[in-house]
Structure formats: C-alpha cells, structure tokens
Amino acid sequence: MRSEGKFYDDKNFPRGFNRSGVFTISEATLLENYGRTMAGLASGAMAPISDSESQFLAEIRGETEANSNFAKCWLKYVYKTTNKVKSYTLCASQRKSANGYDDDTDSDAGGDDDLDY
C-alpha cells in the first residue's frame, strides 16, 4: 500500500494515535503512515493501484474476511470514531434528613433520665 503522507485525526485523537490508549503501537504506526491512503480508498476519492489496495477495499466493504493488518486497523479506527460509547458514573449524594437532624444523634443529648434501674 502506498503512503500519501502522515495521517492525523485531531478531532477524535488530539494527542495522537499512540497516546490514545485505543490502538497498539503497530496499529498507530499503520494509521499514521497509511491512513491517508486508507481514507481515500474507503471514501472513493482514490482508486486502487495495486492488488493489496484492491484487497483492502474488498475487506473493508465486507466482500471478503478482513485478514490484512490494514483492513483490521482501518475497521477498528472507523468503529472507534463512529460509535459513541456511553459512559456512566456512579455517585452517591449525602442529603440531610427532612428534619435537619442526623440520624445517629440522640434528641436527649445529656441524660439518663429515662432509664429505670
């Protein structure tokens, strides 16, 4: 596959592919070096000029199983940039009781007046 220059996606990966935590080092290198070509082929802006590029197109279109590293990497990139992952946060709020007193305090703060011995 030919290289058309460095590929960056500052919108989705502002710190770069290497530092995103999504891609392995080899995947990040493939995206950086061949991402422009893969994007051009996938969008139709570029025509395939070799068998590997034709194979890449067939794999990303689902015509054949994705076996090449280029296709696997591109499909992972597309999945990570198009599917928004919902994240949830668990948090607990500490609200005061309706009467303003804590539950663990005693209303008779000082005495043993109610106790029968």
| Residues 89, 32: Cα–Cα separation, whole Å | 33
pLDDT at position 116 is: 63
The model's pTM: 0.67
Q: How many CA atoms lie within 13 A of 83 on its CB side?
A: 7
| Residue 85 clears pLDDT 90, i.e. is over it | no
pLDDT at 109 over 60: no
Q: Give 13-55 pLDDT, tens digit per residue.
A: 888 888 888 999 999 999 999 999 999 999 999 999 999 999 9
Q: Tokens representing 48? A: 């395939």
Distances (CA, A) of 21 to 32, 38, 44, 58, 103: 15, 21, 29, 28, 46
Residue 101 pLDDT exceeds 90: no
| Percent of the chain residues past pLDDT 70, beyond the cut | 71
User: Quick one: pLDDT at residue 19?
Assistant: 86
Q: How confident is the model at residue 2 (pLDDT cuts 50, 70, 90)?
A: confident
Which pLDDT value is given to residue 97?
Answer: 58
